Amino acid sequence: MNHAIISEYIERLFPQFEPALKRKLIESAKLRDFEGGEMLMQTGQNMRSTVLIVEGMVKLYREGEDGQEFFMYYLQPGNACALSMICATKQETSQVMAKAIEQTKVLMIPISLMDQLMRDYKTWYYFVIETYRMRFEELLFVIDNIAFKAMDERLAFYLKKQATDLNTKELQLTHSEIASDLNTSREVISRLLKKMEQAGAIKMHRNYIAYLS
């Protein structure tokens, strides 16, 4: 039964994979469910699998020594966790946290297959390289916003990216969550959100922020 479900996910979300690779993944991958808020990956965890997202959404972030969190990016259906590929291949521990933000399904691919997949299947090799490239460019974009922009600009960029990534204008985000993602204080975020509301860029509601830009 699981093989049929996995086959459907692979055919729909990873059509670029060659037939032999699809068959290998159908035979070897395990389908796993995560509830919203459940952790897929934690700092220091040994990686036993590479993760392919097939349903839901996963948030990746770094956690500082003082418990502060720094948002990196989201993973959506059709995406792979590049960091799990690196850690799995080198048998290293994770340096990031990954959390399901809604009901999520992932395909877990054993690390024992990584060398074979990279060696024997060109479409997997190109998929890994493209995954690295996309995440590297995304991280450069985030770093540019941290290094070269003021907090009000960072907040505007953050909200726009949230609206784009989550495909909604109604952002279910608390001031504390935003402050954590941007590594600043709740008071700073509240003040800047009020200024954005006065400028007509957003509308704050009790349970969500309406993105209007």
- pLDDT value of position 13: 96
All CATH 1.10.10.10 domain ranges in the chain, comma separated: 150-211
Alpha-carbon span 100 to 115, nearest angstrom = 28
* 55-70 average pLDDT score: 80
- pLDDT value of position 39: 92
* pTM of the shown model: 0.74
| Residue length of the chain | 213
Model confidence band, residue 66 (pLDDT cutoffs 50, 70, 90)? low
In 3D space, the residue among 162, 128, 139 whose CA is nearest the CA of residue 72 turns out to be: 139
Task: Return the residue matching tokens 């479409």.
Answer: 123
In 3D space, the residue among 199, 197, 192 whose CA is nearest the CA of residue 210 turns out to be: 197
Over residues 115-164, the pLDDT tens digits come to: 899 999 999 999 999 998 988 887 787 777 766 778 998 899 889 988 98
Ramachandran sector of residue 37 (left: φ over 0; alpha: ψ -120 to 50; beta: rest): left
Q: What are the residues whose beta carbons fall under 8 Å from the beta carbon of 14, sequence distance 6 or more?
A: 22, 52, 78, 127
- pLDDT value of position 67: 64
Contact yes or no for 10/75 (Cβ under 8 A): no
Query: What is the CATH T-level fold of the domain 150-211, as seen in this structure?
Result: Arc Repressor Mutant, subunit A (1.10.10)
Q: Which of 199-202's residues contact partners 24+ apart within 8 Å by CB, and which partners?
A: 201/156, 202/159
All CATH 2.60.120.10 domain ranges in the chain, comma separated: 2-146
Contact yes or no for 182/154 (Cβ under 8 A): yes
Domain 2-146 has CATH 2.60.120.10: yes
Q: Which of 17-25's residues contact partners 24+ apart within 8 Å by CB, and which partners?
A: 17/121, 17/123, 17/124, 17/127, 18/121, 18/122, 18/123, 20/121, 21/117, 21/121, 21/123, 21/124, 24/113, 24/117, 24/121, 25/107, 25/109
Percent of the chain with pLDDT over 90: 53
Neighbour tally for 144: CB within 10 Å: 11
Over residues 15-50, the pLDDT tens digits come to: 999 999 999 999 999 999 999 999 998 877 777 888
Model confidence band, residue 65 (pLDDT cutoffs 50, 70, 90)? low
Q: What is the mean pLDDT of the chain?
A: 87
Question: For residue 19, what is the enclosing H or E element?
Answer: helix 19-28
